[in-house]
Structure 1
């Protein structure tokens, strides 16, 4: 006797995928709702919700991508603001000065940064944009990579992806005209590339043709993650760090 899931996958594979992924979104939404209903301290609730998002993002990204909260640092000792979710390389790049969950993540290793908020509105969009700027304005080094036949030239630096994830979106029309007007005000280093409202859809600016792409409401979580994964794949690997640039800062 085949299970209900097996029967559905055989009769309608697309519907099987939609229902299965939708349930994961329902689970995350329930976790976020539980935080809002039972945690009385805003700071603690924020930490708990950050971990919910970190856990689900880790689950869908390959092991080559590390996902943590932390502060980004460059070879000059400059640091970013505290960042809720950092997606970074931990295969070739160590984190620095780790203690009790606090870590500095070298700027060269960062692929993407996300801010976790209770909802998406004008204020939180601007806040996330400022967080993105604090990372993007840091210096990143890039050196050649030796190989058997010589040295590969330094890899050009890619633009660090930045976004916002939340439970809800404030505007009655969701990611409609009001959102787009406020989003358009985020430019240059403050620009956001993607966003997710678990109960209200998602957006991204990953298309090479320009403009914003919007995902479905019922499966916004997994759609957002798949689009983010595709974007990360397109970036390739991070640049090779010039560790001498870090070492030179230690010389009196």
Structure 2
């Protein structure tokens, strides 16, 4: 049999959806079920995102000693960011290195959307440093911190229809640092915030998990590179 891109993409999506569906059907305890679902999404991103990005469950810290909530999936830079803390199974990354944060849940509903909005806000409100960048001909000015993507990833929806007015209304309550940029309901479709119309596009997609992955990679490409972190701002805490 010859290679086929449509069959490859279909296989990727079917594998993802089957894992999420099995997690929902087999695990009885809500926490166990939630952890398993989170692991499925993490594995997808760890496998298919370009290697300059890393995805982990983590807290985010800034140079003012402020911490985010624990985030199910933090996508952060491993090419230019100089450090990451790992302690007793906990991962802590500097705010400057973060590209995106996502909550992974079994099903989307108003409560889970609000929960994700608050989790995203806890990262976006952190302070991020940025230093001028030296080069052979002089120095580039300090780069403005990139916008941090935020979203929610689920297998199913508690609404009927799964992607409709109720979802639009719940998403619309999150503005500013609470706004979710994108998300996936793997059994039904995706959503994306469109700044040109200041509203959400609800996309009943074929193979939603794969469509989300490609959309995420495209948005990360347009994010550019994280700013040059001021490591001395963190080092000041050594004397305190």
TM bracket, shorter-chain basis: over 0.9
Deviation string, structure 1 residues 147-192 (Cα, Å, up to 9, x no partner): 1111111001121100000010111122211211121111111110
Residues of 1 paired with 2:195 and 2:201: CA distance? 7
Does structure 2 retain, via aligned residues, the 8 Å contact 1:199–1:217? no
Structure 2: how far apart are the matches of 1:226 and 1:209? 22
Measure the CA separation in 1 of the matches of 2:8 and 2:204.
15
Are the aligned partners of 2:205 and 2:211 in contact in 1 as well (CA < 8 Å)? no
Indicate whether 1:79 and 2:67 are aligned: yes
Aligned to 2:215: 227
Residue 68 of structure 2 is aligned to residue 68 of structure 1: no
Q: CA RMSD in A?
A: 1.7
Q: For residues 1-252 of structure 1, what are the structure 2 equivalents within 5 Å?
A: 3=1, 5-6=2-3, 9=4, 17=6, 19-205=7-193, 208=196, 210-252=198-240
Measure how far apart 1:40 and its partner are: 3.0
User: Structure 1 residues 111-120 or 210-219, which shifts more?
Assistant: 210-219
Compute the displacement of 1:58 (Å): 2.1
Structure 1's unaligned 5+ residue stretches are 10-15
Counterparts of 2:111 and 2:222 in 1: how far apart (Å)? Answer: 31
Count of residues paired in the alignment: 240
State which structure, 1 or 2, has the greater radius of gyration over its C-alpha atoms. Answer: 1
Which region of structure 1 is more displaced relative to structure 2, 52-61 or 76-85?
52-61
Provide Cα deviations, 1:29-65, integer angstroms capped at 9, x if missing partner. 2212222233233222222221110111122211000
Indicate how the Cα distance of structure 1 residues 208 and 235 shifts in structure 2: closer, same or farther if over 3 A, else same. farther
SS in 2 for 1:81: coil
Q: Is the 8 A contact 1:167 1:198 kept in 2?
A: yes
Offset, 1:224: 1.1
Deviation at residue 207 of structure 1 after TM alignment: 5.8
DSSP-derived class of the 1:172 partner: coil
- The alpha carbon displacement at 1:108 in A equals 0.2
Structure 2 unaligned blocks of 5 or more: none
More divergent stretch after superposition (20-29 vs 98-107): 20-29
TM superposition score normalised by structure 2 = 0.93
